[in-house]
């Protein structure tokens, strides 16, 4: 659990995941030929969309080991060298995205969630250098789905709110 740090052992039902995947098929950058990084551990619910969305759209899933997760510069090099287009990155990792001033031009969509998003100067500089990349702030308890709300941040990152909202509910929740 992101709030307690202790695993809940929650079973992710297929209905919520199918709803999220269907939503993403029409509301995300995931398309044929796009590359997605599978950053999250399999025990984290976000890994499901990292794996299944590219597989349903004809994209490619790129796997990494913990050595990349723990080294922001190495992770950014991997993203650039492998032309990664979509990635889920926890807030703590986003804090180091600007560390080496590497800006993978192929990035189209960065998703974050699990904790309060704050647009720090580092995050603003990173996305200002990638003006066509969207930052999605998402929220959702595992029991319902990977996420049930999303807020897409686009445009001039230097003008984004310091603390963006979790956005609006995705469709299909009723």
pLDDT tens track, the chain, 174 positions: 555 666 666 776 788 888 888 888 888 888 889 999 999 888 777 888 889 899 999 999 999 999 999 998 999 999 999 999 999 999 989 988 887 788 999 999 999 998 899 999 999 999 999 999 999 999 987 677 778 899 999 999 999 999 999 999 988 755
pLDDT of residue 74: 93
Residue matched to tokens 């080496």: 100
User: Which helix (H) or strand (E) covers residue 112, if one does?
Assistant: strand 109-113
**pTM, two decimal places:** 0.89
pLDDT of residue 47: 84
pLDDT of residue 125: 94
- Calculate the dihedral angle through the C-alpha atoms of 1, 41, 151, 99, rounding to the nearest 10 degrees: 110
pLDDT of residue 116: 93
pLDDT of residue 44: 79
Residue 125 per-residue DSSP state: H
Q: 67 Cβ partners below 8 Å, 6+ apart?
A: 74
Q: Are 141 and 4 in contact (CB under 8 A)?
A: no
Cα–Cα distance, 161 to 142 (Å, whole number): 27
């Amino acid at each position: 659990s992101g709030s307690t740090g202790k695993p809940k052992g929650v079973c992710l039902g297929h209905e919520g995941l199918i709803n999220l995947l269907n939503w993403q098929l029409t509301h995300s950058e995931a398309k044929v030929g796009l590359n997605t990084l599978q950053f999250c551990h399999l025990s984290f619910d976000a890994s499901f969309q990292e794996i299944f969305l590219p597989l349903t759209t004809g994209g490619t899933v790129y796997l990494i080991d913990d050595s990349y997760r723990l080294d922001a510069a190495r992770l950014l090099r991997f993203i650039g060298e492998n032309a990664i287009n979509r990635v889920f990155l926890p807030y703590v990792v986003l804090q180091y995205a600007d560390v080496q001033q590497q800006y993978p031009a192929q990035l189209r969509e960065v998703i974050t969630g699990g904790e309060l998003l704050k647009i720090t100067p580092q995050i603003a500089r990173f996305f200002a250098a990638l003006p066509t990349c969207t930052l999605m702030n998402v929220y959702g308890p595992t029991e319902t789905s990977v996420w049930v709300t999303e807020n897409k941040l686009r445009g001039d990152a230097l003008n984004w709110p310091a603390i963006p909202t979790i956005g609006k509910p995705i469709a299909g929740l009723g």
